[in-house]
């Protein structure tokens, strides 16, 4: 497993080691690949989970048990924090659970060390933010947990239509029963390495700056404070650490967006595959392969991509003979099939991504049509690759 030992910082007595590059590690690539494929193939079924007519039991959630064994004497100084020189130390693989029962919301957030019992949690304007804002009391019960299950981490990264549902999604992605702990009414995976019960106390502290998915700095801002009350852990606990701007960061953020793009493009033409490449931080660029039905389908596919994932800055559309996960293949398609005066489409005045430092307020986007013109003889555009073996 790839390691960056200089990146780990023990606040104090650090009793457990951190493990990073989880989803990029060779031992888990197969698992991650299966989940990514199943997400693309099963998206219509997964989407149907949010239909109000479906019952809770339609996805197999098993063994909901109460957690009652807690450990004394633990605090945040026992955990391996991620830190770069000049920055505050962080837990980057933490998942926060808020809500009750099967309506418990799971979401991945970085957490900055404040002291032995408190962390400041980076919360963007999504479900956790809405739950904290709408709370009628200052103290909002919450659970912080760490889990190595790819299906759990991916579900906790998924932008679902509303709070809750991540447990069902994790079960659907894995195809296996999901066992849960009941922590004072808040459901969390029993496969967790560490569970910390506590609450958001209604106050904020300055959080940041810290490295974001693009590898650039996310500025300092006020963030809600989580207070730890009780701790449970496995004796052999290993704490997942997501390296900021690294492969697993891109994978967790980008895969749900790839699924949304796949579904959107399928409405306008025949879509084969979608990829958010690491060169675009797994967020700002997309490559989509299609089988165009008529002239203009490639451009429509690019527009559909932008609508499904508004943070996109560039979309490259290629034919289905191109390996979209090979940067060389994609560039070859651009070099041999794209005529800039005809096939580059600039969209001005569009809202940009907050992760793009070049986008201040409004930005621009572009679609690169690297498909063979519809109705053209493909033979002139095929790569000749003789077999010399």
pTM beyond 0.75, yes or no: yes
The 3-state DSSP class for residue 101 equals strand
For residue 187, give the H/E element and its range. Answer: strand 186-189
Task: Write the CA distances from 44 to 69, 266, 269, integer angstroms.
Answer: 40, 12, 17
Q: What are phi and psi of 29, to 5 degrees?
A: -60, -40
**DSSP conformational letter for 344:** E
In this predicted structure, the answer to whether residue 61 has a pLDDT above a threshold of 70 is no
- Considering 45, 60, 212, 328, which one is annotated as catalytic? 212
**DSSP conformational letter for 342:** H
Task: Write the CA distances from 241 to 40, 157, 358, integer angstroms.
Answer: 26, 15, 28
5-243 CATH fold: Pnp Oxidase; Chain A (2.30.110)
15: nearest Cα among 226, 236, 231, 197: 236
For tokens 């990146």, name the residue. 7
Q: Check: CB of residue 193 under 8 Å from CB of residue 238.
A: yes
Percent above pLDDT 70 for the chain: 83
The region of weakest confidence among 333-337, 338-342, 384-388 is 384-388
What's the pLDDT at 140? 95
The count of other CB atoms within 10 Å of the CB of residue 222 is 12
What phi-psi label fits residue 339: left (phi over 0), alpha (psi between -120 and 50 degrees) or beta? beta
The count of other CB atoms within 10 Å of the CB of residue 230 is 16
For residue 332, give the H/E element and its range. Answer: helix 327-337
The region of weakest confidence among 45-54, 215-224, 279-288, 308-317 is 45-54
Q: Check: CB of residue 112 under 8 Å from CB of residue 89.
A: yes
What's the pLDDT at 208? 92
Identify whether 212 is a catalytic site residue: yes
361: nearest Cα among 351, 371, 370: 351
Which listed CATH number (3.40.30.10, 3.30.70.270, 3.40.1670.10, 3.40.50.620) goes with 267-381?
3.40.1670.10
What's the pLDDT at 203? 95
Structure tokens at 227: 């207070």
pLDDT-derived band of residue 56, with 50, 70 and 90 as boundaries?
A: very low
In this predicted structure, the answer to whether residue 5 has a pLDDT above a threshold of 50 is no
What's the pLDDT at 384? 78
Q: Check: CB of residue 105 under 8 Å from CB of residue 127.
A: yes
Structure tokens at 99: 């809500």
CA atoms of 214 and 262, how far apart (whole Å): 23
Half-sphere exposure of 116 (CA within 13 A, CB side): 6
Q: DSSP readout, 189-233? A: ETT-SEEEEEEEEEEEEEE--EE-TTSSEEPPEEEEEEEEEEEEE
- Enumerate the domain spans of the chain: 5-243, 267-381
In this predicted structure, the answer to whether residue 330 has a pLDDT above a threshold of 90 is yes
CA atoms of 301 and 26, how far apart (whole Å): 33
For tokens 């499904």, name the residue. 308
* Average pLDDT value for residue range 307-331: 95
- Tell me, yes or no, if the two domains 5-243 and 267-381 fold the same way: no
Which of the pair, 91 or 175, is modelled with greater confidence?
Answer: 91
In this predicted structure, the answer to whether residue 116 has a pLDDT above a threshold of 50 is yes
The end-to-end CA distance of the chain, in Å, is: 34
Structure tokens at 28: 């888990």
Burial level of 314, CB count in 10 A (0-12/13-18/19+)?
middle
Task: Tell me the average pLDDT of the chain.
Answer: 84
Partners of residue 71 on adjacent β-strands: 231
The region of weakest confidence among 199-203, 207-211, 255-259, 382-386 is 382-386
Q: Cα 347 from chain centroid?
A: 26
CA atoms of 183 and 101, how far apart (whole Å): 9
Partners of residue 186 on adjacent β-strands: 101, 183
């Amino acid at each position: 497993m790839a390691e960056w030992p200089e990146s780990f910082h023990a606040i104090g007595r650090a009793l457990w080691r951190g493990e990073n590059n989880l989803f990029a590690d060779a031992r888990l690539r197969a698992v991650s690949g299966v989940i990514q494929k199943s997400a693309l193939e099963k998206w219509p079924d997964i989407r149907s989970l949010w239909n109000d007519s479906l019952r809770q039991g339609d996805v197999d959630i098993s063994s909901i048990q109460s957690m009652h064994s807690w450990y004394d004497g633990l605090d945040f100084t026992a955990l391996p924090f991620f830190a770069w020189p000049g920055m505050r130390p962080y837990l980057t693989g933490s998942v926060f659970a808020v809500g009750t029962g099967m309506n418990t919301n799971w979401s991945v957030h970085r957490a900055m060390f404040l002291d032995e019992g408190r962390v400041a949690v980076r919360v963007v304007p999504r479900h956790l933010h809405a739950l904290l804002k709408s709370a009628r009391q200052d103290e909002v019960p919450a659970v912080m947990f760490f889990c190595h299950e790819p299906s759990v981490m991916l579900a906790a990264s998924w932008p679902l239509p509303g709070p809750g549902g991540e447990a069902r999604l994790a079960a659907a992605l894995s195809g296996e029963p999901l066992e849960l702990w009941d922590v004072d009414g808040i459901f969390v995976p029993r496969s967790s390495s560490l569970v910390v019960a506590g609450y958001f106390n209604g106050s904020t502290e300055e959080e940041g700056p810290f490295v974001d998915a693009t590898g650039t700095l996310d500025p300092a801002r006020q963030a809600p404070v989580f207070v730890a009350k009780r701790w449970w852990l496995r004796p052999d606990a290993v704490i997942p650490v997501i390296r900021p701007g690294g492969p697993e960061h891109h994978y967790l953020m980008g895969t749900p967006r790839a699924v949304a793009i796949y579904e959107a493009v399928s409405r306008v033409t025949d879509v084969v595959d979608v990829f958010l490449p690491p060169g675009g931080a797994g967020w700002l660029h997309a490559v989509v392969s299609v089988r165009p039905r008529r002239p203009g389908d490639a451009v429509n596919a690019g527009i559909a991509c932008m609508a499904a994932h508004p943070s996109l800055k560039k979309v490259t559309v290629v034919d289905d003979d191109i390996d979209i996960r090979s940067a060389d293949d994609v560039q070859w398609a651009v070099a041999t099939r794209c005529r800039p005066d005809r096939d580059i489409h600039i969209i001005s005045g569009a809202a940009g991504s907050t992760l793009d430092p070049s986008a201040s307020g409004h930005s621009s986007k572009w679609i690169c049509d690297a498909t063979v013109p519809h109705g053209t003889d493909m033979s002139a555009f095929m790569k000749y690759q003789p077999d010399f073996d």
